[in-house]
Chains A and B, each alone.
Chain A
Amino acid sequence: MKIVVCVKQVPDTKGGVKFNPDGTLNRAAMLTIMNPDDKAGLEAALRLKDQYGAEITVLTMGLPKADEVLREAMAMGADKGILVTDRVLGGADTWATSTTIAGAIRNLDYDLVITGRQAIDGDTAQVGPQIAEHLGLPVISYAQDIKVEGDSVIVQRQYEDRYHEVKAKMPCLITALSELNEPRYMTPGGIFDAYDNEVTVWGRADLKDVDDSNLGLKGSPTKIAKASDKVPKGAGEMLKGDSPEELVNALVGKFKEKHII
């Protein structure tokens, strides 16, 4: 079985979000990580590899630095890494991004494509289903469990109040939830191998069956009209009191003032 896993390098929000003095987001000061949903998708692929045997190719689109997430994926057990990077691909919205990634995947042999549900920087959850649409694949989003049975996958597809157990013939595309599993750690030897091996780098010319008019900023139907980093809401009032009782009394006083009680 051949599996393609799509991953994205995103700023890490866990260590705290950093702002510039003017209140805008300081992306440069933030560490980057493999997007959590994507990592769950990779772990799902690695478990399929452990269980049934598989060759896993990880694919990312981004700046040259995004090579790091491919190495990380390889250090966890993925077999190959492909970085799609090109100046003309920059500024892409989800349509242009999915067009680009589909163009890269067309070069590959695969039974299964796994993406994360959504990235923590964009939160759109659109790229996975859109890749499937461009490739003409069945898509199963929000996977909370994945099994392989013959030439099909059986997936638990999560909804708000239920899940569907869904069967699809491969090739197909699955989007993974971070709740799907607890991703494994890398191994030290895996890290050394990942850096001793080559990552394949593709540019615009390597994309198959895509039109320039659908790529990058120019090929993005959605345009940013206005972007602002959200200014945090002004801090409220810290209630004073030396004991829990005093604090509580202060709060009850505020409740009375506001006629809440």
Chain B
Amino acid sequence: MGLEEYKGVFVFAQQVDNVLDGVAFELLGKGKDLAKDLNTDVTAVLIGSDVKGLVDELAEYGADKVIVVDDPELKDYRTEPYAHALASVINEYKPEIMLVGATAIGRDLGPTVSARVATGLTADCTVLEIGDFPINAVAGQEQKHNQLLMTRPAFGGNTIATIACPDNRPQMATVRPGVMQKITPVKGAKAEVIEYNPGFTPNNRYVEILNVVKAVKNTANIMDAKVLVSGGRGVGSKENFKMLEELAEVLGGTVSCSRAAVENGWLPVDLQVGQTGKTVRPQIYFAIGISGAIQHVSGMEDSDLIIAINKDEGAPIFDVADYGLVGDLNKIVPALTKALKAEMAE
């Protein structure tokens, strides 16, 4: 199959409206580590319309090369022209590793491309490393070296699996945003730029975008917050979230929530933490009136310090909390706000 023909670590540099997504930089950061272990380099694949201006930014974040596929058909994301672009790049340049952000775009593009180039794809990875497969040598089976070992949580975070793709290339993974570390940008860094256009001929698979409707964004990005004060079903009402806001304010934090709070219409979905929401890693995470369903926990368990306030002492949230307070949140939260205010004033 000529697997050795495949060289280099490629990352899909996702951009929307000609602005690079943070996950592109995170993938470059991780890609650099992997490339070092494999003694190779990192290539960003930049796909879009009039996107050449983004090349330098990718170089500053660690791209050694940038392959640019620039075509008017690629203005807004559509599965088909993008999949055609990325699959063509893979077939032409044969990377051994192809990383894609596990975003609403990447989780559509990744599977389509992997099926097209007939390789495996591991979804939503949180750890990537180079190692052997099988991890421990097994008699009668060749142990392959320098394999990409892709670790991902499954079952809402209840299980963890490490996956390899030993017999197909490239080894593809989508990577959960917010998990990998980007490097400190190197000002003035330059990358080798390769322009490539496989040609785009619309067919039945090209869908038509009738409208692009942007959500009005008036909420803070909870993924950037240092302190999150998160509320769930136990908060009881939209009005009660005011208490959480006051606590967040004292600590310079932001309010976030569990899925239950979104379903009840108390807070918008972009403040939701958890599997169907965002993965967060603040320094302090308050889980208030959140029972701690695994889908929620998987989105916040890597926070540095977790404080849970819940009236039910058997709530699973206490299993992940560093400090647990059992009692009525309607009394504890205002008391805490008041106490912290007093401490800060001293």
Q: Which residues of A contact B (CB under 8 A)?
A: 11, 13-14, 16-17, 25, 93-95, 98, 120-130, 132-134, 136-142, 154, 156, 158-169, 172, 178, 220-230, 232-233, 235-239, 241, 244-245, 247-252, 254-256, 258, 260-261
Contact = CB atoms under 8 A, between A and B. Distances in A.
Contacts of B320: 232-233, 235-236
A138 B331 contact: no
Given A232-B320, A235-B321, A138 B213 contact: no
A168 B275 contact: no
Contact of B336 (A14, A227, A248): A248
A133 B111 contact: yes
Main secondary structure on chain B at its contact with chain A?
mixed
B324 to A, nearest CB: 4
B133 A223 contact: yes
16 contacts: A126-B114, A129-B112, A138-B206, A158-B104, A159-B77, A162-B215, A165-B210, A165-B213, A225-B134, A225-B149, A235-B321, A237-B323, A241-B325, A248-B325, A248-B335, A255-B340
Interface string B145-158: 00001000111111
A165 B209 contact: yes
Given A165-B211, A238-B324, A233 B155 contact: no
Contacts of B336: 248, 251-252
Nearest to A11: B155
B311 to A, nearest CB: 11
A129 B343 CA distance: 54
A123 B156 contact: yes
B158 A17 contact: yes
A17 B294 contact: yes
Contact of B322 (A136, A162, A236): A236
Which interface class (under 10, 10 to 19, 20 to 34, 35 or more) fits B? 35 or more
B201 interface: no
A258 B305 contact: yes
Interface stretch (B46-54, B64-72, B159-167, B188-196): B159-167
B327 interface: yes
Contacts, number: 252
Contacts of A158: 104
Nearest to A27: B155
Interface string B121-153: 111100000000111000000000000010001
B323 A239 contact: yes
Given A139-B79, A159-B104, A247 B325 contact: yes
Nearest to B275: A123
A235 to B, nearest CB: 5
B111 A129 contact: yes
Interface of B: 16, 76-80, 83, 103-105, 107-108, 110-112, 114-116, 118-124, 133-135, 149, 153-168, 204-215, 217, 270, 275-276, 284, 293-295, 301, 305-307, 313, 316, 318-328, 331-332, 335-336, 339-340, 343-344
Contacts of A126: 107, 110-111, 114, 121, 123
Contacts of A236: 306, 318, 320-324
B162 A225 contact: yes
Contact of A222 (B83, B121, B207, B313): B121
Given A132-B112, A221-B120, A230 B103 contact: no
A256 B340 CA distance: 11
Given A138-B80, A139-B112, A237-B322, A125 B107 contact: yes
A40 to B, nearest CB: 12
A149 B333 CA distance: 52
B215 A138 contact: no
A230 B205 CA distance: 41
Given A122-B154, A123-B123, A245 B335 contact: yes
Given A158-B104, A167-B208, A167-B209, 8 more contacts: A95-B115, A121-B155, A139-B108, A159-B77, A161-B214, A163-B212, A165-B213, A260-B284
A162 B270 CA distance: 11
Nearest to A154: B210
Nearest to B306: A236
B318 A235 contact: yes
Contact of B79 (A16, A129, A249, A251): A129
A156 B210 CA distance: 10
